[in-house]
Structure 1
Amino acid sequence: MAKMLNSLLSLAALLTTAFAVNPIEIVNNKFYDSVTHKQFYIIGVDYQPGGSSGVGTGSDPLSDPTQCLRDFALLQKLGVNTIRVYSVDNTLDHDYCMSLLDTAGMYLLLDVNTPLSSQSLNRYEPNTTWTADYYSHIYSTIDAFKAYENVLGFFSGNEVVNDAASLAACPGYLRALQRDMKAYIKKTANRIIPVGYSTADDATIRSELGSYLTCGDDASAADFYGINTYEWCGDSSFTSSGYSTLTSAFANFSVPIFFSEYGCNTVSPRTFTEVTALYGDQMNEVFSGGLIYEYNEEDNNYGLVNTGGDSAQLLQDYVNLQSAYTNLSIPNITLSSTTATTTLPSCSGLNLDNWTIPAAPSGAPTAGAGNYGTLIELTAEELVVNSTVTDVSGNVISGLSVTAVGRAVSGSVSGTKSASASATGGEGKSGNGTTTVSEAVGMGVGVGMGMAVLAAVGAVVVVL
């Protein structure tokens, strides 16, 4: 028996799960795990090492195995379940980094635009960039990532509209882009992947634009809406920060809404007291979490980690955010039954004078360039960090690795965006249960691997 146990342990050391997380789906205005039906809250960080210059020909944040391994281990240790990446090169191989992210139990929100030529919209003259080449880039980006089950969604744009002039010029093009991205995903992907937009930190713009991008026809409406906001600075409060006004403004929003960027740094180091508010009772009925800006220290001093070459050092912001995440209690809500149908609000009453939705550009392709990603199985050795990582005091952190998170299995998939649902607390009981962050991020660690090993030798497995 001891010999068999040793063999099992040796086998377990070689295996990880290739598919660690369940795809996320939208039911009404909330995210849910498509298998367990648990409501999903984004506990995230914006991730673009190198800033806007972090993408170029032959490089991007999700193509460097050494960088991904080091950074994803630190993000997992931080307590993150989602990252946002702003720009990628869709011609590169992203299988290792996406599989590593998945193995760590984390999802990706991906922007489809880049700062490179023919890969974004001109906010003031969008017609000049509405080209077949632009669509080829968009479709190729979708193709490169659509097979990864841990892709939570695609952003059609980030702060494309940021003033009165762009508000007059761009919304129709954003709506058209949403229409065509959603249609392409429906036609070519094996599941529905949500498409949304990330709006600028401007109260007037985000309200009017949000209403327009999510009203009327579902075929061209945003599936989710991200808000970039830096209103809570230092030791503020729900009321004085303006969070109370923001929450009231979006209390009845028809699609999932979350902070796609937050974390004001006018007071440094940041203490992240707004994190408790965002996931607390005053806001968690409206917002599905958020993403802290940002992982890597750049010239703007928003970083959690300072990297250089193959090494990295934690900053005080990392330590403070880790503490804020650790002390959270995340609502534990399960989708239980469909009781009504939620429809998107009417577009009547909105300023639509200059917001005509254009057709796809002349000569637009019907497919991307043909680079298709796929999740791959990783060995335990591939999860061990060999880079030098130090804490705030400069002490080397030893034994750093990505912990494999097993896929959770419970029930069947039934929810759709057009369906409605009543929610109950965990274990099918009415009320508002809570799950700690460590449980939400690390739930099921090693379960998938252990089950596979035991099944391989004919063991009887009982799941309680």
Structure 2
Amino acid sequence: MFANMLVKSALLASFAISATNAIATITTLGNKFFDSDGNQFFMKGVAYQLTEKDPLINEDQCKLDASLMKDLGANTIRVYHVDASGDHDGCMSAFSDAGIYLLVDLDTFNTAINPIVASWNQTQFERYSAVMDAFANYDNTMGFFVGNEVVALNNQSLAAPYVKAAARDLKAYRNSKNYREIPVGYSAADIAELRPMLQNYLACGTNSSESIDMFGLNAYEWCGDVNLQTSGYDTLNTYAKSLNIPIFFSETGCNTNRPRTFDDQSAILGPDMNDNWSGAIVYEWIQEANTYGLISYGSTVAATAVATNVQGGFSIAGTPTPVSPDFSNLQAQWKTLTPSGVQSSTFTPSITAPACPASTSGGWLVDGDVKLPSVGETEVTGTATATATATTSGTVSATGTAASASATGKKGGANTNGGKEVAGMAVGLAGVMVGFIYWL
């Protein structure tokens, strides 16, 4: 009897704690995000990696960063790599208390889908689902990515069915575990020849269980003194109008013109775009060699210096100090941008899924609604000069002509990924390209 009372007391105490720390959950309806109170949700986010392993296990650091992010006006972070076995309770609580949601990539350095030898296998599935298990029960987890810039060149689109297969299987896993319907999506490189085919392909088809729930675009086109038309955002906006799922900038913040004024935020979160777009993630929180940082943790040292919490000459922990004037410029932008959107109770989705695009001579190589690969299938997609076709069974076959990416203003070249993952991903992909037998 006494033991039962203790158990009940513990459960009540746990419920009280979770209720105190509760934050409205985010879901999708049509092409918009809504919180569980019915308010449309717009991202004002920052990319947050800090280390190449997992920035969400250092509770003290998360508390410091979350506090300053709240002052900045941020409501979302994006994290590229995490350790599924880590203890994330403290960090997730710190960000929840600050009103900040999480977008997290499911892949690890050695399980990302490789566009050269595209594969979706049991090892990848298990690693992705482990990350989902680790974060699905936090109320402020708002979305998962099954890939980041997998298709990073205009001849790599034959990898897209593998991205879509990953989304299909992770959505099915989410549902089998009775997790809430946290959106599963993809973060794309901005490749001119693949617009709008890539976004439409990942969302197309009559079976919604096989399509992504949200689409993020890593775009660095708004550079310096430009506007909606001269930046190219008007073209992106036109493509977004026909998309039936939420679309947002999963990375943005060109730094070729200094200081950064973040004028693109007034377009993204203003009346020209906010009916079609759901906000943006600014790249990035921590200052490092690429000089995209909004804060620093201390003075730089020699790039070869070996010290605790120092990587490449930059501190990766400590008291965050705003980088001037970038931090205050973004803060000033976000203070003036408060799109109200619509209420979920009055919103009726009217956009249907796009048609699956046909292949083109300019780079899109997937022809229509091809059959998605099952777990264990592998396809060599990045060699030589054949054109893409679909076999009679509908599976993807053939390869594309090698070419360079067309993204402009990109932070690290055509084939980089976000944040601190760049170096590790390069090593991982090189290993896969040499031999992927360890996956089988």
TM norm structure 2: 0.73
Please state how far the C-alpha of 1:204 moved relative to its aligned partner.
2.2
Indicate yes or no: 2:323 matched with 1:315. Answer: yes
Indicate yes or no: 2:142 matched with 1:111. Answer: no
Indicate yes or no: 2:248 matched with 1:239. Answer: no
1:374 alignment partner in structure 2: none
Change (3 A) 1:339 1:71: closer
How far apart are the structure 1 equivalents of 2:254 and 2:355?
A: 35
How far apart are the structure 2 equivalents of 1:131 and 1:212?
A: 21
Indicate yes or no: 2:34 matched with 1:32. Answer: yes
1:69 alignment partner in structure 2: 63
SS at match of 2:342: strand
The C-alpha deviation readout for 1:93-132, integer Å capped at 9, x for no partner, is 00110111111111101111122x3x212111013xx332
1:278 alignment partner in structure 2: 268
Change (3 A) 1:97 1:328: same
Indicate yes or no: 2:376 matched with 1:361. Answer: yes
Indicate yes or no: 2:193 matched with 1:204. Answer: yes
Is the 1:18–1:99 contact (alpha carbons within 8 Å) kept by the matching residues of 2? Answer: no
Q: How does 1:393-432 map to 2 (within 5 A)?
A: none
2:251 alignment partner in structure 1: 261
2:88 alignment partner in structure 1: 94
Indicate yes or no: 2:288 matched with 1:287. Answer: no
Is the 1:18–1:103 contact (alpha carbons within 8 Å) kept by the matching residues of 2? Answer: no
Residue from 166, 174, 178 that aligns with 2:167 = 178
SS at match of 2:175: helix
How far apart are the structure 1 equivalents of 2:154 and 2:257?
A: 30
Change (3 A) 1:107 1:226: same
Is the 1:262–1:291 contact (alpha carbons within 8 Å) kept by the matching residues of 2? Answer: yes
Please state how far the C-alpha of 1:91 moved relative to its aligned partner.
0.8
Q: Matched residue pairs, number?
A: 336
How far apart are the structure 2 equivalents of 1:332 and 1:247?
A: 17
1:84 alignment partner in structure 2: 78
The C-alpha deviation readout for 1:379-423, integer Å capped at 9, x for no partner, is xxxxxxxxxxxxxxxxxxxxxxxxxxxxxxxxxxxxxxxxxxxxx
Please state how far the C-alpha of 1:352 moved relative to its aligned partner.
3.2
Is the 1:28–1:256 contact (alpha carbons within 8 Å) kept by the matching residues of 2? Answer: yes
1:327 alignment partner in structure 2: 336
Is the 1:90–1:144 contact (alpha carbons within 8 Å) kept by the matching residues of 2? Answer: yes
Change (3 A) 1:340 1:264: closer
SS at match of 1:246: helix
Please state how far the C-alpha of 1:208 moved relative to its aligned partner.
1.3
2:48 alignment partner in structure 1: 47
The C-alpha deviation readout for 1:15-58, integer Å capped at 9, x for no partner, is 89643321111111111112x211111111111113xxx21xxx
SS at match of 2:33: strand
Unaligned runs of 5+ in 1: 1-13, 363-464
Is the 1:162–1:205 contact (alpha carbons within 8 Å) kept by the matching residues of 2? Answer: no
Change (3 A) 1:342 1:208: closer
How far apart are the structure 1 equivalents of 2:154 and 2:225?
A: 32
- Paired AA for residue 333 in structure 2: A
How far apart are the structure 2 equivalents of 1:348 and 1:313?
A: 47
SS at match of 2:171: helix
1:435 alignment partner in structure 2: none
Please state how far the C-alpha of 1:237 moved relative to its aligned partner.
1.0
How far apart are the structure 1 equivalents of 2:97 and 2:73?
A: 14
- The runs of 4+ residues in structure 1 deviating greater than 6 Å are none
SS at match of 2:217: strand
Is the 1:17–1:103 contact (alpha carbons within 8 Å) kept by the matching residues of 2? Answer: no
Please state how far the C-alpha of 1:220 moved relative to its aligned partner.
1.1
Is the 1:235–1:271 contact (alpha carbons within 8 Å) kept by the matching residues of 2? Answer: no
Please state how far the C-alpha of 1:344 moved relative to its aligned partner.
1.9
1:23 alignment partner in structure 2: 25
- Paired AA for residue 113 in structure 2: L
How far apart are the structure 2 equivalents of 1:167 and 1:352?
A: 7
Please state how far the C-alpha of 1:72 moved relative to its aligned partner.
0.9
1:166 alignment partner in structure 2: 156
Please state how far the C-alpha of 1:353 moved relative to its aligned partner.
4.3
Unaligned runs of 5+ in 2: 1-15, 298-314, 360-364, 378-440
The C-alpha deviation readout for 1:266-321, integer Å capped at 9, x for no partner, is 01221111111111111111111111001011111100001234233210111111
- Paired AA for residue 361 in structure 1: G
- Paired AA for residue 311 in structure 1: T
Change (3 A) 1:262 1:339: closer
1:222 alignment partner in structure 2: 212
SS at match of 2:190: coil
1:453 alignment partner in structure 2: none
Is the 2:358–2:367 contact (alpha carbons within 8 Å) kept by the matching residues of 1? Answer: no
Change (3 A) 1:343 1:244: closer
- Paired AA for residue 273 in structure 2: M
Change (3 A) 1:15 1:197: closer
How far apart are the structure 2 equivalents of 1:222 and 1:139?
A: 16
TM norm structure 1: 0.69
14-23 or 299-308, which deviates more? 14-23
Is the 2:242–2:354 contact (alpha carbons within 8 Å) kept by the matching residues of 1? Answer: no
1:4 alignment partner in structure 2: none
The C-alpha deviation readout for 1:417-451, integer Å capped at 9, x for no partner, is xxxxxxxxxxxxxxxxxxxxxxxxxxxxxxxxxxx
